[in-house]
Amino acid sequence: MKIQGRMFIWLSFFILAVAIVYGVWSKEPVGTTGLFLAFGLSIMIGFYLAFTARRMDSLAQDNKEADVADESGEVGFFSPHSWQPLSLAIGGALLFLSVAVGWWLAYFSAPMLLIGLWGWVFEYYRGESRTQ
């Protein structure tokens, strides 16, 4: 995590330089404010990662002599047969589309989004997959 902290800190310095140049050159307040907020977000993430890396053991990504296999292991559990992310994605896409098309579409897409979210959260609490 040390390398990620350094990357975000260097990125924040770059964003700060771009924000200053953009603010002086364009005199446009919205973009300048957005760039300064991006600087603040990047510096917060960088310092958090650097602070956390000091408290953790060294990972394989911090070792310059490490192989790809050194970081191998279990990543997590991913459901191989779930249809819920598809309904969640369709509901979310239609809900964001309602901003451009019309708010009336949100009345149809919000329930679809909520049903997909409910099904995704509780899919291992009912049915044939209940014991997994």
Is the predicted pLDDT of residue 47 greater than 80, yes or no?
yes
| Token digits of residue 49 | 């990662």
Three-state secondary-structure class, residue 116: helix
Split at pLDDT 50, 70, 90, the class of 78 is confident
Full DSSP string of 6-48:
HHHHHHHHHHHHHHHHHHHHH--HHHHHHHHHHHHHHHHHHHH
pLDDT digits (tens, 9 = 90+) for 55-77: 877 777 777 787 777 777 777 77
> Considering the entire predicted model, what is its pTM?
0.54
